[in-house]
Amino acid sequence: MEVKNMCGFGPSPIPQEGKWTQTKDISQISGFSHGCGTCAPQQGACKLTLNVKNGIIKEALVETIGCSGMTHSAAMAGEILIGKTLLEALNTDLVCDAINDAMKNIFLQLVYGRSQSAFSLGGLEVGTSLEDLGKYKASQVATIFSTDKTGVRYLNLTEGYITRMALDKNGEVIGYEYINLGLLLKNMETERTCKDAIEKSKKTYGRFDEAVSYVNPRSL
């Protein structure tokens, strides 16, 4: 009798797309989220974004950094994932350890209700992951190199390919000049010369014009 009077049987409710649901089947899982993973020797990483509706993967964004094999595995994963259930995807070999690891992590987020769309009524529409890439639909990456002799060197940042770093009198970075690669490709279609396209794609960030000196980050 004591056991019969206990409450709380069944799964705990989780937040999903603006509702609290007691999920008992994979087809009841919906959500939009990200998962990150690394490969076995940790020489590369993957960021995986999925948009799942009623257990089915409707959208996948696969971003990797590492070896060439990893990038080709990302292409395969992009073809494999769409249309699979979340459980099928978890148990499918996505070729690269980092992508498989990211798949495991995003699975845990979604089944525990830790998605980005947990409190968005109706969830997020397919195509939402492209917003992470910005206007020119390119992965936002940062490549920074430092040594005790040269100091820090910015090679790539969110804005693009760094061409010049601006330094103050103490040699500290106060800004930089960059080429937005997405904008460059667009300008190459309309400008008469590549040089014109490059110049129109250059922008600056920070107190670039106040610099005491400038340095090419690739001149070590």
Q: pLDDT truncated to tens, each residue of the chain (220 aa)?
A: 566 665 557 888 999 999 999 999 999 999 999 999 998 888 899 999 999 999 999 999 999 998 888 889 999 999 999 999 999 999 999 989 999 999 999 999 999 999 999 999 999 999 999 988 887 788 888 999 999 988 999 999 988 999 999 999 999 999 999 999 889 998 999 999 999 999 999 999 999 999 999 999 998 7
Report whether 18 contacts 120 (CB < 8 A): yes
DSSP letters spanning 187-211: HHTTSSSHHHHHHHHEEEEESGGG-
Bridge partners, residue 47, by sequence: 36, 63
Residue 33 has φ and ψ, to the nearest 5°, of -160, 180
pLDDT one-digit tens code per residue, 119-132: 999 999 999 999 88
Q: How far apart are CA 179 and CA 181, in angstroms?
A: 6
What pLDDT is stored for residue 144 in this prediction? 94
Share of the chain above pLDDT 90, in %: 78
Q: Which CATH architecture has domain 14-130?
A: Alpha-Beta Complex (3.90)
What pLDDT is stored for residue 182 in this prediction? 87
- Element (H or E) spanning 179, and its range? strand 173-179
Report whether 77 contacts 92 (CB < 8 A): no
Q: How far apart are CA 107 and CA 33, in angstroms?
A: 9
Domain residue ranges of the chain, discontinuous segments joined by +: 14-130, 143-215
**Nearest 5°: CA angle at 157, between 124 and 96?**
60
Q: Which of 4, 34, 196, 45 is nearest to 128 (CA)?
A: 34
Secondary structure class of 60 (helix, strand, coil): strand
pTM of the model: 0.83
pLDDT one-digit tens code per residue, 145-189: 999 988 999 999 988 999 999 999 999 999 999 999 889 998 999
Could you give the angle at which helices 97-111 and 68-81 cross, rounded to 10 degrees? 40
Name the token pair of 78: 């992009």
Bridge pairing between strands 160-167 and 213-215: antiparallel
144-180 b/e (C-beta count within 10 Å ≥ 16 → b): eeeeeeeeebbebbebbbbbbbbbeeeeebbbbbbbb
Report whether 188 contacts 196 (CB < 8 A): no
